[in-house]
Each structure stands twice: as C-alpha cells, then as structure tokens.
C-alpha cells in the first residue's frame, strides 16, 4: 500500500462510537472509525498514516503524509505522499496530493491539485575560471 519507507503501523484508534469536538494532532499512525468535528493534522511526521474507515466522518481540514479514505471528509485535504481513495471514500473539499490512487466508486467534490515532489537542491558546480589575460586559473 505504501512505499518501503512509509510507516504502516497504527498507533491510535478513534472508535466507531467516539465523537471528537476540536482539532486532533497525531504522530505515527491513526485510524478513525468515529466522528471528528475539527482539523486532523499529523504533527511533523513525514511517515504519518491516517486511515479514515467507511464509518468515519471528518468535518475539518486533514493534513498528513499518507492517507487512506473510505469514509467521508468535508474540508481541505493535504497529503504530502500518497492519497488512496477507496470505493466508499467521499471528499467534499479541495484536495492537494503528491501521489493519488483512486478506486472505482470514490468521489471528490472539489478541486484536485497535484503537488510535485520537492526538487532536491542542486550540488554546487565548480568551474575552472579564466583570468582576464585568457590563461586558465
């Protein structure tokens, strides 16, 4: 499902009968089966994983590296690595992604924006200069 370097372990679970009012910041892996009325944000973890199950409902912004959606999100979604939209996945809002996998039946009502991978800084190139007289330095 995710690249070799991505964390695929779930550290926390929001159960199907849970309802959270307010923002949620997590690290590592999180699975949501219940409802969150607030933003869901991965705190500085480049390998973060968020799974939104088919019973889950999020009303707020979602930001993480790897995201699997089979439930409902109403809000802006930002996935810095892989966004997987499963058949029952529904997003009502703009989506920013680097890699996208969309299964048949998934639905996005909003704008899809591809975010290119950051380009690594170029290594400095050293050239032998030429002096004013035309001789090599």
Token digits for 101?
A: 């996998």
What is the per-residue pLDDT for 118? Answer: 67
Domain limits for position 39: 12-114
Whether the CA torsion 28, 29, 33, 36 is positive or negative: it is: positive
Whether 3 is in a domain gets the answer no
What is the per-residue pLDDT for 125? Answer: 58
Averaged pLDDT, 23-48? 93
pTM over 0.85: no
Whether 6 is in a domain gets the answer no
Whether 133 is in a domain gets the answer no
CA angle 99, 117, 83 (to 5 degrees): 20
pLDDT in tens, 50-61: 999 999 999 999
Number of folded domains that form the chain = 1
Whether 60 is in a domain gets the answer yes
CA distance 39 to 58: 8
Q: What confidence category does residue 128 fall into, taking pLDDT thresholds of 50, 70 and 90?
A: low
Whether 1 is in a domain gets the answer no
CA distance 60 to 72: 11
**Tokens 């923002």 -> residue:** 23
Q: What confidence category does residue 44 fall into, taking pLDDT thresholds of 50, 70 and 90?
A: confident
pLDDT at 2 over 70: no
Let me know: does 45 contact 29? Beta carbons within 8 Å: no
pLDDT in tens, 99-117: 999 999 999 999 999 998 7
Whether 135 is in a domain gets the answer no
């Amino acid at each position: 499902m995710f690249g070799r370097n991505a964390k695929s372990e779930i550290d926390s679970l929001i159960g199907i009968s849970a309802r959270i009012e307010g923002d949620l910041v997590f690290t590592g892996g999180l699975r949501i089966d219940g409802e969150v009325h607030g933003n869901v944000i991965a705190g500085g973890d480049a390998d973060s994983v968020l799974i939104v199950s088919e019973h889950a409902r999020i009303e707020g912004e979602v930001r993480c590296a790897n995201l699997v959606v089979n439930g409902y999100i109403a809000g802006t979604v930002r996935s810095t690595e892989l966004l997987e939209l499963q058949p029952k996945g529904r997003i009502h809002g703009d989506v920013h992604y680097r890699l996208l996998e969309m299964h048949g039946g998934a639905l996005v009502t909003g704008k899809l924006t591809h975010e290119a991978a950051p380009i690594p800084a170029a290594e400095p190139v050293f050239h032998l200069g030429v002096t004013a007289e035309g001789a090599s330095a």
